[in-house]
Amino acid sequence: MPMFRSAARLAAAASTLALLAACATHEVDFQGEGEGFVGEGAPVMAVLETPSVGTVGDDAADDPAVWASATPVTVMGQSTPGFVAGTDKKSGLYIYGLDGQILQFMPEGLLNNVDLVEGLTVGGKPQLVLGASDRTPGKTGVALYLFDPAGTGDNGVRYWGSIKTDVIEPYGFCFGKRGDDIHAILVGHEGELRQFVLTADAAGAPVAREVRRAEIGSISEGCAVDEATNALYIAEENVGVWRYGLDPASGAARTLVQPIAPGVLVADAEGLTTINDGDRRYLIGSSQGDSTFPVWRIDGATPEYKGRFVVVDGAVDGVTGTDGLAAASGVVGPFPEGLVVVQDDVNDTGTQNFKYIDWRDIRTALGL
């Protein structure tokens, strides 16, 4: 079940947040007590959180992906308006409801980053495709999964196949669509970039055709696609955030959107995600070194930095050391204008987990 804290704690935190929000243009420095340094940023609160991942005493929870359905779907016998997929990189893949409840767990091995995409028909049925970078020995590459939105009963996420690669340690992963083509982008720990077009053959098996390979330069992980501008964003952890073309013909050409810099993006630069808000689109990053989340508006010719937010104590505890994050736009179950989900490195009870943040709270905090 979603984990809520006491009403007294929430009321006190809400009062603090109201005072801080009154001068939202003046960012406040937060210093966690034993939970890692938290830098300057506009304060927001998470609405709820998932249970702790099952791996105890390890750097385990890593990366989420969010999906919303126009009509309720069935996951393992339970009706839900969508779900969040989250990796435990020591043991497998969780599927959470939009209320934070665990709907399914798949002990799939060492899955690091996960993403999902619509638009593929397999065996004559439209399917949701999930992909995760897989570091399991003997299976390194991209693990692929399917979910049938029309399924009933014990319908759930199911293993589909894999994309084999020469990348020794698969790390970051994201999907993107270019026209009708689904592109799968794998980022290796040492900075390898591999891009594939994913289809299904007549027998319903996955087929991946490599269309680009390039070298980012050093350890990299987070990636996200903005289809409207044909852009691929990649975080090189100790260098900054790059913008590539999603078109594989663009090769290794790129522009540095944001270098590592105090007060904006502090190494490690980790997860990346995009969110649409009407005709505006934003890129959100994870500044792991100071537990903040920089935001850029990306629907113009050049990405425009809009500020940073931090996740403070509220209904659930605040967020430090975030690795992966993901967002979904529009109506996402109980979130009418969008949902952002972030990994929390140091949870107040138990092991690492994922926090859910209402996009409206971020928009208000940053004055977007």
Q: What is the pLDDT of residues 89-138, one digit of tens each?
A: 999 999 999 999 999 999 999 999 999 999 999 999 999 999 999 999 99
Over pLDDT 90: what percentage of the chain? Answer: 87
Identify the top-confidence range among 1-15, 49-63, 233-247: 233-247
What's the rounded mean pLDDT across residues 189-202? 97
Burial of 302 (0-12, 13-18, 19+ CB in 10 A): exposed
pLDDT of 25 higher than 70: no
Average pLDDT of every residue of the chain = 91
Would you state the pLDDT for residue 36?
62
pLDDT of 51 higher than 80: yes
Would you state the pLDDT for residue 9?
39
What's the rounded mean pLDDT across residues 306-315? 97
Confidence of residue 58 (pLDDT cuts 50, 70, 90): confident
What's the rounded mean pLDDT across residues 275-279? 97
Give, in order, the Cα–Cα distances in Å from 353 to each of 23, 38, 140, 192, 320: 30, 18, 25, 28, 11
What's the rounded mean pLDDT across residues 183-187? 98
pLDDT of 11 higher than 80: no
pLDDT of 237 higher than 50: yes
Over pLDDT 70: what percentage of the chain? Answer: 90
Give, in order, the Cα–Cα distances in Å from 361 to each of 34, 283, 318, 357: 26, 16, 14, 7
Confidence of residue 150 (pLDDT cuts 50, 70, 90): very high
For residues 23 and 181, the model is more confident at: 181
Would you state the pLDDT for residue 37?
77
pLDDT of 12 higher than 70: no
Q: Which of 8-17, 189-198, 318-327 has the lowest mean pLDDT?
A: 8-17
Q: Which of 2-16, 82-96, 249-263 has the lowest mean pLDDT?
A: 2-16
In angstroms, the CA 58 to CA 116 distance is: 26
pLDDT of 45 higher than 80: yes
Would you state the pLDDT for residue 27?
34
In angstroms, the CA 63 to CA 75 distance is: 20
Would you state the pLDDT for residue 179?
94
Give, in order, the Cα–Cα distances in Å from 302 to each of 16, 225, 235, 256, 296: 36, 15, 17, 11, 10
Q: Where on the phi/psi map is residue 306: left (φ > 0), alpha (ψ -120 to 50), or beta?
A: alpha
Q: What is the pLDDT of residues 327-349, one digit of tens each?
A: 999 999 999 999 999 999 998 88
What's the rounded mean pLDDT across residues 208-236? 98
